[in-house]
Amino acid sequence: MAGKIAGFIDGPWQSANLEKALGSKLAVAPGPSGPGGGFGPLVEPDGYYINANAADTNLATQFALQMDSQANEQIFADKGGHIPAINGITYTAPNNANPAISQGFANAYKTGFARPTVKQLDNYWTPFGKRARRGDRQGTAPASAVATACQQMDKANGF
């Protein structure tokens, strides 16, 4: 299987670009179950933070509520590939991507959990991204690749 990708992890925001590159070979599949149970992807929360010390917190709150309105959430789903967190949104294929791909991500989100918005997670993406991209090519066993990524993340976070 040299030079071929059997699978990778990405999100719905890449659907249109990946479909252009892979055509009918692109699909969304549930992740594997592990010793702790079923696969639970990180579900990226979109939200608004309001500074309690802002001059007009009411205006900021009104802006956030407007951005979270059903009409605007529909735009985020249609154009940005965001999986809506509110009822009443029709989740379709963003940026003209394949509806089956979009629905695959929407289904995956049902078993996911909200990605924490903590500073320590900033140090997750690089070590785990490198392990995912290089692990198989370097002949590294998956458990070893994950252990190395965890050690790098912990070191970067000062643990």
pLDDT in tens, 12-30: 778 778 888 888 888 888 8
Is 50 exceeded by the pLDDT of residue 133? yes
Residues 79/2, Cβ–Cβ less than 8 Å: no
Q: Which of 29-43, 49-63, 88-102 has the lowest mean pLDDT?
A: 88-102
Q: Determine if residue 97 is left, alpha or beta; phi over 0 gives left, psi from -120 to 50 gives alpha, anything else beta.
A: beta
